[in-house]
């Protein structure tokens, strides 16, 4: 076998390997998407069972348990808050209400983006952030934030509703206050009081 023939043979083998790899990648992608859709349907079925709701069909749009507020604050605010929740789950209304109340205290110092996972694009984003069917608050794109004094004890993970184990309502104010102070901005007096409030 001369050098030219060997080059053509190697090129053919490489082309076959690349084609096989592309086909395998396409099959894997389809399998992953199917498993993701199945997992989402299973989570929705479990959620509906836990809430005592009737089973839903694919074509039926789930009914909202509450109406989310509109986004608030200027997009260039020093603190950007993204709240993830599913509006068909009334248990998650408390996280939306807590952030909406905080937004009124801070005014133009915060921008709040309410992200309802009822919308497919938001659900995809929530899956990528590993939120699942929980609620979560991201402060400047981070879910774990310092909210109280203490290098480790002061860190809070803002996953789920407030006052249910991970964080208290006061920690929402604490996290925002620390971010404002890091930006050289003094938090409002009312926000400082609420950050030190004791919640169950």
What confidence tens digit (pLDDT) does each residue in 86-121 have?
999 999 999 999 999 999 999 999 999 999 998 889
Assigned fold of 79-195: Glutaredoxin (3.40.30)
For the whole prediction, is pTM greater than 0.85?
A: no
**What does the alpha-carbon distance between residue 133 and residue 135 come to, in Å, rounded to a whole number?**
7
Q: How confident is the model at residue 4 (pLDDT cuts 50, 70, 90)?
A: low
Average pLDDT, the chain: 83
Q: Which residues in the chain are classed under CATH 3.40.30?
A: 79-195
Please name the residue ranges forming H helices in the chain. 3-50, 93-106, 120-128, 169-182, 189-195
**What does the alpha-carbon distance between residue 32 and residue 135 come to, in Å, rounded to a whole number?**
24
């Amino acid at each position: 076998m001369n050098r030219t023939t060997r080059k053509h043979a190697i090129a053919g083998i490489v082309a076959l390997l690349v084609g096989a790899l592309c086909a395998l990648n396409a099959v894997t992608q389809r399998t992953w998407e199917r498993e993701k859709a199945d997992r989402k349907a299973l989570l929705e079925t479990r959620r509906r069972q836990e809430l005592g709701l009737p089973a839903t069909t694919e074509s039926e749009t789930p009914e909202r348990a509450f109406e989310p507020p509109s986004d608030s604050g200027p997009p260039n605010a020093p603190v950007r808050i993204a709240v993830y929740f599913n509006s068909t789950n009334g248990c998650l209304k408390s996280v939306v209400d807590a952030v909406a109340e905080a937004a009124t205290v801070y005014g133009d110092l915060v921008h709040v983006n309410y992200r309802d996972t009822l919308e497919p694009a938001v659900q995809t984003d929530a899956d990528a952030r590993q939120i699942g069917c929980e609620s979560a608050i991201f402060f400047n794109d981070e879910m774990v934030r310092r909210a109280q004094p203490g290098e480790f004890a002061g860190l809070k993970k803002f996953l789920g509703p407030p006052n249910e184990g991970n964080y208290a309502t006061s920690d929402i104010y604490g996290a925002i206050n620390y971010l404002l102070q890091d930006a050289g901005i003094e938090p409002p007096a009312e926000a400082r009081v609420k950050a030190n409030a004791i919640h169950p």
